[in-house]
Amino acid sequence: MVRKADVFRQKAGIDVRTGHRAERIDIGEQCVSGSTLDGEAFTLPFDRLLIATGADPIVPERPGFDLPGVVVVKTLDDARAIKERIASHPVKKALILGMGYIAMEMAEALRLRGVQVAMAKPRPRLLPWLAEDLVKRVRQELETNQVKIHTGFSIDRIESRGDGLVAWEPSGEAIEADLVVVAIGVASNSELAESAGLKLGPSESIAVDRQMLTSDSRIYAAGDCADAFHVVTGERVWIPLALRANRSGWAVADHLCGRPVSLQGVAGTSVFKVFDLEVARTGLSKEEAASAGFDPATVTIQASSRAHSMPGASPIQVHMVGDRRSGRLLGAQMVGKEGAAHRINAPAVALHTGMTVDQFSETDLAYAPPFGPTWDPLLVGANQLIKAMK
Amino acid sequence: MVRKADVFRQKAGIDVRTGHRAERIDIGEQCVSGSTLDGEAFTLPFDRLLIATGADPIVPERPGFDLPGVVVVKTLDDARAIKERIASHPVKKALILGMGYIAMEMAEALRLRGVQVAMAKPRPRLLPWLAEDLVKRVRQELETNQVKIHTGFSIDRIESRGDGLVAWEPSGEAIEADLVVVAIGVASNSELAESAGLKLGPSESIAVDRQMLTSDSRIYAAGDCADAFHVVTGERVWIPLALRANRSGWAVADHLCGRPVSLQGVAGTSVFKVFDLEVARTGLSKEEAASAGFDPATVTIQASSRAHSMPGASPIQVHMVGDRRSGRLLGAQMVGKEGAAHRINAPAVALHTGMTVDQFSETDLAYAPPFGPTWDPLLVGANQLIKAMK
């Protein structure tokens, strides 16, 4: 997403101060102070303040993570750095640290350029929030595409070797690579808010209410730096994703303009593509449900992406989570070559309304042979989950 | 869907009497009587009776509709008859009567076999339940694929001419064809129920309650012969589609086995594919909403099937209907080359819960660049509909 600052200045009449680093929020004086790139100090007063400092990729403070060829994936400049590295070096092998969706998307992008790809993460599970059978399918897809997966592999230093790099595990194992992509997660840029005394939420994000107001009623926070309420648990969560970030900005504008705002929150819906596979989730995993105090029952079913008579059908795995006590639907996950990405929106809407699994199982979902079996895979899952919840 | 009767006899121990025509239900005596293919009379007693007589294609009682080469599309035999006609005749031109989804699917199937296709219907609008801009796209798709569309064209007789057929309009216009597919709609097979004195619902379907019981508490009706409640209007409707038909059969089994059943009903969700286009709907059109007593506002937006940076993106048209008085979402329709079929399930679930457009606009739908823009086309539609409803 690239937009020039002048567009905001000229089209919207916004006084955009690029090259200005905000270093301090003085709540009592209602002003923000800092310094410009030229080293000049500035102070800007406010009636209302919006903190939209975003989130940045986490880079471990370990030896060699600042070497050329060790990159993160956030800005256009990051992408250019990766392309430049590939153009200026013979990049035959890439090591991706992390196995989230950014890591997966980079694995695919690099394989498509003919680069050998290895992925490493310290923890033992590939996608810890995804049900086991669904993880298997993702692992298979990665392996089919010659991506090497090193779980339980912690990198504690990176060294140069000739034109390339070597990433070292504490035990002495090493992975050679010409490019190291650090995609181990992001952290909220909340230091400014924290030092101003504003309350923080989960993962050091900035705590906001349903109007996106921080613990100070003159100060909003929105975008990836702010937390949200989860519609299933009612608890604060920090799930930095584009729709929620974008929507929270709109909500601030609405609230400032006097329109009533009370955001429902997030259902934890997300989707990514990895090679030919769509991986989608909404709501809680079994582990998340249990730690939120629910009594979760789960089911994993396999269905077909099209009616059996249709050519081109492929398997879809559906995992669903329900609460034995209340009967509520708590979450759904899907993996398939087609029909997973958009299907996940149906249970997402159900989570917003607190639907029971019974109620969901009766919903009138679309059917035509090219798009699924008569009973949508989600309905097959719900029907099985009803039994598992007894 | 082909299943041999012996499977039911041997695997499930069901006394399946094929070749037995039920001709009369005697409610007082609790028995069904009729005759076999050999002309023998039979009488079968019942404690509980299930009427599952389905629906049959409507064939006008007009001259020539019984000629060889004039076919309907319901059973495997119908399909065989069409294939046989194509094998035994030089079928260069086909005329399809009707413009519903069966008609559309046949148009595609015949074009793929290289047959010239014309479609005709008496009424002026191609898909009267679909919003105007969306109909345009469907018409374009048909025309791009060389399908000729004759709206306002009523066929009052069909004649043989040599090896082929001629379909005549009352004014004297005619369409020549080697095959005529009659796909003008279906009618519930409710004669047996009606003559037993059971109450009928819309379009002469059999009226049932939420337990699939007819007006007699010993007799169920399920499948395409029975009506249903619409979750938006609460009124009886007859929408003969596979999921609802199948689900109502399960509900009868559940109810007979003592499991509580109270079906929510249908949202009127349907989807079809026509060439490269997905056409999907759920809920009410503007006209249906108005005649159900709502004060409908509508909006039609165009969005992209993928994020703008992604190759392969194509336009998606979304039409949404909301009620000005209650704020409720009443319906949604979508047309696109990809991403319409499964997306429709999100508003379908919303309709089951009586969500307002405001609430729907805040739902946490999935986003990733290969699958849509940050704000899903449905959310863009909902945001615009909120404004249109004021």
Q: Could you tell me if A368 lies within 8 Å of chain B, comparing CB atoms?
A: yes
Rounded CA separation A389/A302 (Å): 19
Would the pLDDT of A312 be above 70?
Answer: yes
Q: For the residues A353-358, what does the mean pLDDT come to?
A: 98
Q: For the residues B300-314, what does the mean pLDDT come to?
A: 93
Q: Please write the tens of the pLDDT for every residue from B146-197.
A: 999 999 999 999 999 998 999 999 999 999 999 999 999 999 999 999 999 9
Q: For the residues A207-225, what does the mean pLDDT come to?
A: 98
ipTM for the predicted complex: 0.96
pLDDT for the residue B1: 63
- Whether residue B347 contacts residue B329, with contact meaning beta carbons closer than 8 Å, is answered with yes
Rounded CA separation A320/A105 (Å): 25
B243 and A375 within 8 Å at the Cβ level: the answer is yes
A366 and B247 within 8 Å at the Cβ level: the answer is no
pLDDT for the residue A309: 79
- Residue of chain B minimizing CA distance to A333: B366
Is the model's pTM score more than 0.80?
Answer: yes
Structure tokens, B146: 């060389």
- Residue of chain A minimizing CA distance to B378: A345
Q: Could you tell me if B344 lies within 8 Å of chain A, comparing CB atoms?
A: yes
Q: Which residues of A touch B231 (CB under 8 A)?
A: 364
Would the pLDDT of B226 be above 90?
Answer: yes
Who among A341, A350, A375 is closest to B246 (CB)?
A: A375
pLDDT for the residue A308: 83
B244 and A376 within 8 Å at the Cβ level: the answer is no
Average pLDDT, chain A: 96
Phi and psi angles of residue B97, each rounded to the nearest 5 degrees, phi first? -95, 125
Q: Could you tell me if B257 lies within 8 Å of chain A, comparing CB atoms?
A: no
pLDDT for the residue B308: 83
Q: Which residues of A touch B303 (CB under 8 A)?
A: none
Q: Please write the tens of the pLDDT for every residue from B207-219.
A: 999 999 999 999 9
Q: Could you tell me if A366 lies within 8 Å of chain B, comparing CB atoms?
A: yes
Q: For the residues B84-98, what does the mean pLDDT come to?
A: 93
How close does chain B come to A307, measured CA to CA in Å? 10
How close does chain B come to A259, measured CA to CA in Å? 13
- Whether residue B158 contacts residue B168, with contact meaning beta carbons closer than 8 Å, is answered with yes
pLDDT more than 70, % of chain A: 100
pLDDT for the residue A1: 63
Q: Could you tell me if B306 lies within 8 Å of chain A, comparing CB atoms?
A: no
Give, in order, the Cα–Cα distances in Å from A49 to each of A52, A221, A224, A231, B72: 10, 8, 16, 27, 68
How close does chain A come to B303, measured CA to CA in Å? 15
Who among A350, A353, A362 is closest to B263 (CB)?
A: A362
B370 and A243 within 8 Å at the Cβ level: the answer is no
How close does chain A come to B363, measured CA to CA in Å? 6
The partner residues of A160 in beta bridges, in order of sequence, read A165
pLDDT for the residue A361: 98
Q: Which residues of A touch B365 (CB under 8 A)?
A: 243, 269, 345, 348-349
DSSP state of B359: H
How close does chain B come to A170, measured CA to CA in Å? 36
B282 and A364 within 8 Å at the Cβ level: the answer is yes
Residue type, A75: T
A367 and B272 within 8 Å at the Cβ level: the answer is no
Q: For the residues A246-254, what does the mean pLDDT come to?
A: 97
DSSP state of A217: T
Q: Could you tell me if B121 lies within 8 Å of chain A, comparing CB atoms?
A: no
Average pLDDT, chain B: 96
Q: Could you tell me if A9 lies within 8 Å of chain B, comparing CB atoms?
A: no
Element (H, E) at B275: none
B352 and A365 within 8 Å at the Cβ level: the answer is no
Rounded CA separation A381/A298 (Å): 9
Residue B205's contacts (CB-CB under 8 Å, 6 or more residues apart) are B188, B190, B225, B226, B227, B238, B240
Q: Please write the tens of the pLDDT for every residue from A98-155.
A: 999 999 999 999 999 999 999 999 999 999 999 999 999 999 999 999 999 999 999 9
Distance of CA B146 to the CA centre of its chain: 24
Would the pLDDT of B44 be above 90?
Answer: yes
Q: Please write the tens of the pLDDT for every residue from B105-147.
A: 999 999 999 999 999 999 999 999 999 999 999 999 999 999 9
- Whether residue B86 contacts residue B115, with contact meaning beta carbons closer than 8 Å, is answered with yes
Q: Please write the tens of the pLDDT for every residue from A253-281.
A: 999 999 999 999 999 999 999 999 999 99
B366 and A341 within 8 Å at the Cβ level: the answer is yes
Judged by DSSP in three states, A348 sits in helix
Q: Which of residues 84-103 of A touch B (CB under 8 A)?
A: 101
For chains A and B, count residue pairs whose Cβ atoms are closer than 8 Å. Answer: 177
CA–CA–CA angle B235, B236, B241 (5° rounding): 125
How close does chain A come to B194, measured CA to CA in Å? 28
Q: What is the DSSP string of A91-141?
A: --EEEEE--SHHHHHHHHHHHHTT-EEEEE-SSS-SSTTS-HHHHHHHHHH
DSSP state of B207: P
Q: Which of residues 14-73 of A touch B (CB under 8 A)?
A: none
Element (H, E) at B119: strand B116-120
B264 and A375 within 8 Å at the Cβ level: the answer is no
pLDDT for the residue B3: 80
Rounded CA separation B284/B332 (Å): 8
- Residue of chain A minimizing CA distance to B377: A342
Confidence of residue B313 (pLDDT cuts 50, 70, 90): very high
Residue of B105, B349, B352, B371 to mutate for A, most A C-beta atoms under 10 A: B349
- Residue of chain A minimizing CA distance to B280: A366
pLDDT for the residue B250: 96
Distance of CA A165 to the CA centre of its chain: 28
B345 and A344 within 8 Å at the Cβ level: the answer is no
Would the pLDDT of A160 be above 70?
Answer: yes
Give, in order, the Cα–Cα distances in Å from B381 to each of B201, B299, B331: 34, 7, 11
Residue of A342, A359, A384 to mutate for B, most B C-beta atoms under 10 A: A342
